[in-house]
Amino acid sequence: MLDKEVKQPVTKESLIAELKKLGVGPNQIIEVHASLASFDYVVGGAATIVDALLEIAKDGGTILMPTHASDNSEPSKWSNPPISPSLYDEVRKSIPAYDAQSSDISKMGSVAENFRHRSGVVISSHPSLSYAAWGRYAKLLCNRQSLHFPLSEESPAARLYELKGYVLLLGCDFDSCTCMHLAEYRSDCRPITIEGAKLKSEGEEVWRKYLDLELKSEDFLVIKKILQERNSIRTTTIGGSAVQFFPASTAIDEATKYFEKTVVYDLYR
């Protein structure tokens, strides 16, 4: 069976033109989630997508992407693959300490991997749930990220909210939208858990436990329906990839309201 012939390959120029039609502009702060595989064909691959984003943001804009090193995490929580309890200590000892340039972030996709190595990119310090940013507000976004509750008020997600930033989903859906986890912290809708990661401290590699919530993203698809009903999402299709663009604060506020209504932890409020 022959592969489908590519009729309209995506180029840097065509991607920029289509994103501008959608409302993506030069002075915006944008959290980007991108799946290269969602496009029929992008000439130049992930590098072209990053080039287009940086070109749009070059005059006062900021691009923000999650660069989570998900394998640098508490092995007792792993499900893919699950780890035998007898191996937890061995795995913790064997995990490499977090390094902003070399830690594996393959689960974040090739676009995020390409982006984090670009000149001028600033990367936040969290060993498991870091962000990378480029542009005018990159340092402000990534300057401070708390080890505990890392996607809460001391995080790039919170700064994105305060600065009235946007979210751009290129072939991804709302359950990939990292900044919306901020609503889970603000509504106390999740139980607290103990996580862990390997990091470097005073020249030594150490395993550090930290507090977080049992975050979930499935409910974000419910928020998408609410925003669709209110015409808060701009959508298009570029090279076969579904693209969504919306204000981060609008999505986070709606998610917070939703979680407030469905919260089950009133005992601790």
pLDDT band with cut points at 50, 70 and 90 for residue 265: low
Q: What is the mean pLDDT of residues 55-71?
A: 96
Encoding tokens for residue 72? 């640098």
Q: pLDDT for 92-104, tens place per residue?
A: 999 999 999 999 9
Closest CA to 62 of 142, 173, 8, 3: 142
pLDDT for 267: 45
Distance from C-alpha of 169 to C-alpha of 248, rounded to nearest angstrom: 12
- For residue 81, CA distances in Å to 71, 75, 78, 85, 252 come to 10, 9, 6, 13, 31
Q: pLDDT for 192-236, tens place per residue?
A: 999 999 999 888 999 999 999 999 999 999 999 999 999 999 999
